Amino acid sequence: MTDDFFKFILETNKENFTNSQKEIFSDKDYNPYSNDLEVLEEFLSTQQFDKAVAFNNINLLLSPRAHFYKNYALEKLGKEKDAQSELVFAHKIMEGICTTGDGTEENPYLVTRISDERDILSYLSEEKESQMLVQKDGKYFDLLNCKSGKAIYFDITTPYTKMQELMDSGKISLFGSEEAEEDASASNKKWWQFWK
């Protein structure tokens, strides 16, 4: 883990969180549409808890869901103290995302991975009804309309731009090939119910 990440965990504020994001965004292996969460889910569903705990890369560092998955794996391994640390990381990351905005069009949440949107909706006790990509002033946003009637905006400019770069280089072949398929197939599945 990076110094910026630890600084953010110790003092959760917008500056520290966005500094951690910038470090991830600049990493050569950053892929906001990677299938790393699916890999973790597979380890958990096959009860390979040691592998789930050991599986790490830059794309998982600021993913709340990844830390929840690791919390679960560590609990299954009987490592309560380590499991508690992962739970703290997951909650701090969600708090960090929430420091970046309030979800309005003028002040959207800034996410690292597209999957973070679903994690934040759960954190806010909201359920997605529809989703739309919005382009405005050279930026890209996901607009999620919730069943409660609330509209929540996420600034996805950096992940969206990175996706375009990955497509242009041939590293991914279709729009959101890995992560979008996961989100589409799991739209009714709660992230913490990965075994269903």
Predicted TM-score (pTM) of the model is 0.82
Residue 193 falls within a domain, yes or no?
no
Residue 191 falls within a domain, yes or no?
no
Residue 196 falls within a domain, yes or no?
no
Report the C-alpha gap between 50 and 74 in whole angstroms. Answer: 8
pLDDT digits (tens, 9 = 90+) for 70-79: 999 999 999 9
Coil vs helix vs strand at 134:
strand
Range of the domain at 179: 3-185
Count of domains observed in the chain: 1
Alpha helix positions (H), 62-178: 64-76, 80-99, 115-123, 157-168
Tell me what pLDDT residue 168 has: 77
Residue 113 falls within a domain, yes or no?
yes
DSSP state of 192: T
User: Is residue 116 over pLDDT 50?
Assistant: yes
Please, which residues bridge with residue 146 across strands?
A: 128
Tokens standing for 51? 């592998």
Report the C-alpha gap between 7 and 19 in whole angstroms. Answer: 10
Residue 195 falls within a domain, yes or no?
no
Contact 6, 34 (CB under 8 A): no
pLDDT digits (tens, 9 = 90+) for 118-140: 999 999 999 999 999 999 999 99
